[in-house]
Amino acid sequence: MLLEIGIALILAKLAGYAMEKIKQPAVIGEILAGIIVGPFIFGELFGLKYLSDVTEGLASIGIILLLFISGLEIGVDELKSVGKNGFITSMFDVSVAFFFGYLAGVLLGYDLRISIAIGNILVATSVGITVRTLMEMHALHTNVGELILTVAVLDDVLGIIVLSITLGQGAPLLLLAKIAIFFIIIVLILMIIGKVKDIKLHIPRFILTASIASSLIFAAFAKSLGLAAITGSFFAGLIFSRLPQRRKMIDFMRQIGENFFVPLFFIWVGASFDFNALEEIGNLVLLFIPMALIGKIIGCSVGAKICGFKARDALAVGIGMMPRMEVALVVVTTEITMGIFSEDLAHQVLASTILLVIISSFLTPILLKAVYKGKEGAKAEK
């Protein structure tokens, strides 16, 4: 097991670096490294058995730390400043993306719970590729770039809330009561943090240790209420974002998370990729991926147009929101561990999500540059 983890981490770093050299997300390299060390390649060649309860446990910690870091970076204060345009566009984005995913499930003949689970996967957005593309075009600090960044922040928050509401375990009324209790406690802690955040404790690195502990404790608390563990860790990150040591915590958590636990999560995702599932995902992929891409384009474009953006700019916002990455993979693996899908369907949905990550990452820069090229051409004609 130790040998397998060590080999996996080195391969993940090398593959991630290779992806970055061709201007693609490192996470794709980490997933590919997982596929290599998984049962279908290294497992067949060298008899390695990377998938085990231990590696799954480490991957679960990776998920929790990833969402905690996300909450830290988004921050409560940033949420307060997103503005009306960001909120309106995000509401359209999340609603339409969820509906398109749900519709895909219904058209494929899945039951209500599975269709809702597919809708949840399509809500999340990761705009790292988009940000890099906009920077290359010197368009990041335009109205389009700023709206994309704003909506991306809200998408993560709304996506976690939607996941908690739609897939929480228990009777509906009891579930709503648990969700209400969870958020009341979050608000109370935020109020307390606001009062005591300037108190200084002379315990070396205490706040850093407390941040790790809190991400795990809140994850366990959310899970005990029938919610997803990632809900607890994400909101724990939001809570700690109010502290003056926020930047120090982000740097510390990134060092721990991104160099060990988080890569292990994406390696585990890749290792879980079942090549046999590719034989059965034809109909699923034919609906899942187009619905994922079209849903984001329509939802964000309509939202941006309502907010007063010109048609081409609104389309650019929609295209910029297409990529799926970390949160989509976190959502699908969370749903799998919750037992939403049968074993065969779980492999198919995971394989489809990985393909969505790869396809959306490659398509977005091409389409975004085409839209902006067309915009610049239209300006030149005038």
pLDDT value at 178 more than 60: yes
Q: What's the rounded mean pLDDT across residues 150-169?
A: 79
Using pLDDT thresholds of 50, 70 and 90, give the confidence band for residue 17. Answer: very high
The third-level CATH classification (topology) of the domain covering 58-381 is Na+/H+ antiporter like fold (1.20.1530)
Q: In Å, how far from its chain's centre is CA 349?
A: 16
- Whole-number mean pLDDT of the chain? 85
Q: What's the rounded mean pLDDT across residues 315-333?
A: 87
pLDDT value at 378 more than 50: no
Q: Compute the distance between CA of residue 112 and CA of residue 107 in angstroms, rounded to an integer.
A: 11
Least confident of 39-48, 112-121, 332-341, 366-375: 366-375
Q: What's the rounded mean pLDDT across residues 86-109?
A: 93
Pick 378 or 157 by higher pLDDT.
157
pLDDT value at 291 more than 60: yes
Using pLDDT thresholds of 50, 70 and 90, give the confidence band for residue 301. Answer: very high
**Which pLDDT score is estimated for 22?**
85
Structure tokens, 159 = 């996506």
Residue (of 362, 363, 378) closest to 312 by Cα position: 378
pLDDT value at 136 more than 80: no
Report pLDDT digits (tens) over 203-228: 667 888 888 999 999 999 988 887 77
Residue (of 2, 27, 17, 16) closest to 269 by Cα position: 27
pLDDT value at 289 more than 90: yes
> What is the value of pTM for the model shown?
0.78
Using pLDDT thresholds of 50, 70 and 90, give the confidence band for residue 202. Answer: low
**Which pLDDT score is estimated for 109?**
93
**Which pLDDT score is estimated for 382?**
37
**Which pLDDT score is estimated for 380?**
40
Residue (of 330, 270, 254) closest to 29 by Cα position: 270
Place of tokens 């290294």: 42
Least confident of 160-164, 168-172, 272-276, 336-340: 168-172
Q: In Å, how far from its chain's centre is CA 200?
A: 34
DSSP character at residue 65: H
Structure tokens, 6 = 């060590």
pLDDT value at 195 more than 50: yes
Question: 62, 233 in Cβ contact below 8 A?
Answer: no
Q: Alpha carbon of 339 to those of 117, 136, 171, 302, 356: distances in Å? A: 11, 42, 17, 35, 22
Q: What's the rounded mean pLDDT across residues 100-119?
A: 94
pLDDT value at 259 more than 90: no
**Which pLDDT score is estimated for 172?**
67
Using pLDDT thresholds of 50, 70 and 90, give the confidence band for residue 116. Answer: very high
Report pLDDT digits (tens) over 27-37: 888 889 998 98
Q: Compute the distance between CA of residue 71 and CA of residue 233 in angstroms, rounded to an integer.
A: 8
Q: Which residues, other chains included, contact 368 with Cβ-Cβ below 8 Å and sequence gap of 6+?
A: 130, 133, 134, 137, 316, 319, 320
**Which pLDDT score is estimated for 99?**
96
**Which pLDDT score is estimated for 75?**
82
Question: 234, 71 in Cβ contact below 8 A?
Answer: yes
The residue ranges of every structural domain in the chain are: 58-381
Angle at 180 between CA 295 and CA 155, to 5 degrees: 25
